[in-house]
Structure 1
Amino acid sequence: MPATPALLIRPGHLLLLGALSLGGCLRLGPDFQPPAEAWSKQWQSPALEQASERGTLPDLRQWWQVFADPILDRLISDAEARNSSLKIAGLRVLEARAQLGIADSGRYPQLQQASADSLYIDRHQSGGNNPQDLHFWQHSAAFDVGWELDFWGRFSRAIESADASYFAAQANYEDALVLLRAQVADTYFALRTTEARLRVARENAAQQKRNFEITEKLFRSGQTAELDLQQARTQYLGTLSSIPAFEDQLLRTRNALAVLVGQPPGGAAFLAEQPGLIPLVDRAVLQDVPANLLLRRPDVRAAELNVAAQSALAGVAETDLYPSLTLLGSIVWSSDTLGTTPRSLDLIGGPSLRWNLFDYGRIHNNIRVQDARLQQLIETYRDKVRQAAREADDAASGLTKALERERILGEAEGAARRSVVLANTQYREGYSDFQRVLDAQRALLELQDNYLVSRSNAVSNLIALYRAVGGGWQSAGPHIDSATRQQMQQRTDWGDLLSAPPPQPTYPIPSQVDRHE
Structure 2
Amino acid sequence: MKTINYISLVTLAVILTSCGITKRDFNLRSGVTVSDAFFEDNLQKEIYVSTETTQKWWTEFNDPILDTLINKVLEHNLDINTAVANFEASRAFLKGTKLDRFPTVTLNGNYTRTRLGENVFVPGANPTYNNFNGSFDAFWEADVFGRVSNRIKGAYANSQLALADMQSVYISIFAETARNYMELRGTQHMLSIAERNLKGQQSTYDLTVKLLEAGTSNNLDVSRALAQLENTRATIHPLKARIEALKNSLNVLIGEVPGEIDNTLLTEQPLPSLPETVALGDVNELLRRRPDVRSAEATLQMQIAKYNISVADLYPKVQFGGSIGFSAVDFSNFAQKESFTWSIMPSITWAAFNLGRVKQQINQNDALTLAALNQYEKTVLKALEETKTALANYANELQRRENLRASSEASAKAATIAKQRYEAGLDNFIDYLSAENTMLVSENLLATSEITASTYLIAIYKALGGGWDIITEDDIKTKIELLKQKETSSK
Band the TM-score falls in, shorter-chain normalisation: 0.7 to 0.9
**One-letter amino acid of the structure 2 residue matched with residue 362 of structure 1:** R
Structure 2: distance between partners of 1:126 and 1:211: 113
Aligned to 1:137: 129
Aligned to 1:76: 70
Alpha-carbon offset, residue 139 of structure 1: 2.4
Counterparts of 1:431-510 in structure 2, within 5 Å, are 431-476=426-471, 478-479=475-476, 480-487=479-486
Counterparts of 1:155-304 in structure 2, within 5 Å, are 155-270=148-263, 271-286=265-280, 288-304=281-297
Q: Deviations over 1:219-263 (max 9, x none)?
A: 111101211111111111111111111111111111111111111
**One-letter amino acid of the structure 1 residue matched with residue 254 of structure 2:** V
Counterparts of 1:417-436 in structure 2, within 5 Å, are 417-436=412-431
Q: Which moved more, 1:416-425 or 1:273-282?
A: 273-282
Counterpart contact for 1:124–1:134, Cα < 8 Å? no
Q: Deviations over 1:358-400 (max 9, x none)?
A: 2373322322332233222222221211111111111111111
Alpha-carbon offset, residue 137 of structure 1: 1.7
**One-letter amino acid of the structure 2 residue matched with residue 122 of structure 1:** L
Indicate yes or no: 2:118 matched with 1:124: yes
Indicate yes or no: 2:304 matched with 1:311: yes
Aligned to 2:54: 60
**One-letter amino acid of the structure 1 residue matched with residue 426 of structure 2:** Y
Indicate yes or no: 2:92 matched with 1:102: no
Helix, strand or coil at the partner of 1:321: coil
Counterparts of 1:338-417 in structure 2, within 5 Å, are 343-349=338-344, 351-359=346-354, 361-417=356-412
**One-letter amino acid of the structure 1 residue matched with residue 56 of structure 2:** Q
Helix, strand or coil at the partner of 2:197: helix
TM-score norm. by structure 1 comes to 0.82
Residue 452 to residue 125, structure 1, CA distance change in 2 (3 Å): closer
Structure 2: distance between partners of 1:143 and 1:491: 40
Structure 2: distance between partners of 1:140 and 1:28: 50
**One-letter amino acid of the structure 1 residue matched with residue 129 of structure 2:** W
Indicate yes or no: 2:91 matched with 1:92: no
Alpha-carbon offset, residue 481 of structure 1: 4.8
Aligned to 1:7: none
Helix, strand or coil at the partner of 2:209: helix
**One-letter amino acid of the structure 2 residue matched with residue 207 of structure 1:** G
TM-score norm. by structure 2 comes to 0.87
Q: Which moved more, 1:412-421 or 1:370-379?
A: 370-379
Counterpart contact for 1:140–1:332, Cα < 8 Å? no
Counterpart contact for 1:76–1:181, Cα < 8 Å? yes
Helix, strand or coil at the partner of 1:98: helix
Residue 344 to residue 432, structure 1, CA distance change in 2 (3 Å): closer
**One-letter amino acid of the structure 2 residue matched with residue 116 of structure 1:** N
1:36 pairs with 30, 36, 50, which one? Answer: 30
Q: Deviations over 1:283-316 (max 9, x none)?
A: 3123x22342133212211221221222122112
**Could you list the runs of 5+ residues in structure 2 that have no partner in the other structure?**
1-20, 331-336
Structure 2: distance between partners of 1:366 and 1:29: 14
**One-letter amino acid of the structure 1 residue matched with residue 101 of structure 2:** R
Structure 2: distance between partners of 1:126 and 1:171: 66
Structure 2: distance between partners of 1:353 and 1:298: 42
More helix, by proportion: 2
Q: Deviations over 1:185-232 (max 9, x none)?
A: 111000000000000011111111111111111111110121111111
Aligned residues, how many? Answer: 459
Indicate yes or no: 2:327 matched with 1:328: no
Counterpart contact for 2:404–2:442, Cα < 8 Å? yes
Q: Deviations over 1:122-152 (max 9, x none)?
A: 353699xx95453342425243323221111
